[in-house]
Structure 1
Amino acid sequence: MKKQGPLTSCDTCGNYVYDDDYGYYLCEADLDEDEMAAFLSNQRFVCPYYQTDDEYKIVRKQM
């Protein structure tokens, strides 16, 4: 059995941005058809494009 990584939440992802034109949040990651099907059908989907929404991460690395 393959060990899964930590579960991720779209709310804390850097790819999940607010679109002023549409008036709601959307994902900027380019999911292929299989990834989108897994996302829509499974509450425990582990996104391969998840990035923490932490703009200070680079700064802490430089210190």
Structure 2
Amino acid sequence: MASSNCDYCSHYVYDDEFDYYTCDVNLDEDEAVKFMQGSFDDCSFYDPYDEYKIVRKQN
């Protein structure tokens, strides 16, 4: 498992309706508790946000 920072994860999205950021992955109960406590350092769902990913595939 890689170390992660939710702020730079592509699954960490802003929810306009509730006016805060949330993890867009369906977490199980244990993972959700870790996420809410801020101790979600080794996230197996971590995917770095890369806005140029699509552009590189077009070349």
TM-score strictly above 0.5: yes
The alignment of Structure 1 onto Structure 2 pairs a total of residues equal to 59
Structure 1 distance, partners of 2:32, 2:22, is 13
Segments of 4+ in structure 1 off by > 4 A? none
Identity of aligned residues (%): 47
Q: Deviations over 1:20-41 (max 9, x none)?
A: 1111111111111132234445
Give the structure-1-normalised TM-score.
0.69
Q: Unpaired segments of 5 or more residues in structure 1?
A: none
- Report which of the two structures shows the higher radius of gyration computed on alpha carbons: 1
- Relative contact order: is structure 1 or structure 2 higher (C-alpha 8 Å, sep ≥ 6)? 2
TM-score, with structure 2 as normaliser = 0.72
**Unaligned stretches of 5+ in structure 2?**
none
**AA matched with 1:49:** F
Residues 21 and 38 of structure 1: CA distance in aligned 2, closer, same or farther (over 3 Å): closer
